[in-house]
């Protein structure tokens, strides 16, 4: 913990004030250790690349099955891009229906909470909460969609994808990983 008399560390742009966690550290000042994990920074080597994540995951799983120290491995996606798949047109009716579904789930949660403390007719309390939640959800869903003014009249799903996935390992075990993955490639290609 710093005191008002401690010197303020100088960052790239001059003196930097101390934060609640103490004085900040800068990459140029950092020792040869990963300050977040408290372990030394170890060089890594890419031992294989794959066109999709399941293939890279299968490779690491194979390494694990062969008793390779997988804590020294990582899967690194490169050339990341955001892909938004358009699922369909969004109308006020669909927005109200989606809101009703969300409201019903919330009503179910509230109904279960009320049902715990109810000594009788807990099923009626549960159904009433679900119905009230669905009605309010539909109203809010329709109003929220109407307020957009037609600027987003479609539904979509976004996902982050990479063009390739590299399996990297620490440099001290790279040769062993390469040998094991070569064996995996021979087995999957049908070679003896």
Q: Tell me the domain boundaries of the chain.
A: 44-80+162-180, 84-159
Q: pLDDT 10s per residue in the chain (192 long)?
A: 444 444 444 544 555 555 555 565 554 444 444 445 556 678 899 999 999 999 999 999 999 999 999 999 999 998 889 999 998 888 889 999 999 999 999 999 999 998 888 888 888 889 999 999 999 999 999 999 989 887 878 888 999 889 999 999 999 999 999 999 998 888 877 765
Q: Is the dihedral of CA 115, 121, 124, 129 positive or negative?
A: negative
- Which pTM was predicted? 0.52
Strands (DSSP E) contained in the chain are 10-11, 14-15, 33-34, 39-40, 44-50, 73-78, 81-89, 154-161, 164-170
């Amino acid at each position: 913990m710093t005191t008002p008399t401690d010197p303020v560390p100088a960052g790239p742009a001059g003196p930097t004030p101390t934060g609640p966690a103490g004085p900040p550290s800068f990459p140029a000042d950092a020792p040869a250790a990963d300050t977040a994990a408290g372990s030394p920074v170890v060089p890594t080597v890419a031992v294989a690349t794959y066109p999709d994540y399941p293939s890279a995951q299968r490779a690491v799983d194979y390494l694990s099955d062969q008793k390779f120290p997988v804590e020294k491995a990582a899967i690194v996606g490169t050339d990341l891009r955001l892909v938004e798949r358009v699922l369909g047109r969004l109308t006020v009716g669909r927005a109200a229906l989606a809101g009703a579904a969300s409201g019903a789930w919330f009503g179910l949660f509230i109904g279960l909470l009320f049902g715990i403390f109810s000594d009788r007719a807990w099923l009626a309390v549960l159904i009433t909460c679900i119905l009230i939640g669905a009605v309010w959800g539909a109203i809010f869903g329709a109003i929220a969609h109407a307020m957009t003014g037609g600027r987003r009249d479609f539904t979509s799903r976004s996902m982050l994808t990479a063009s390739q996935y590299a399996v990297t390992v620490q440099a001290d075990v790279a040769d062993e990983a390469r040998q094991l993955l070569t064996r995996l490639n021979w087995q999957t290609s049908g070679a003896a």
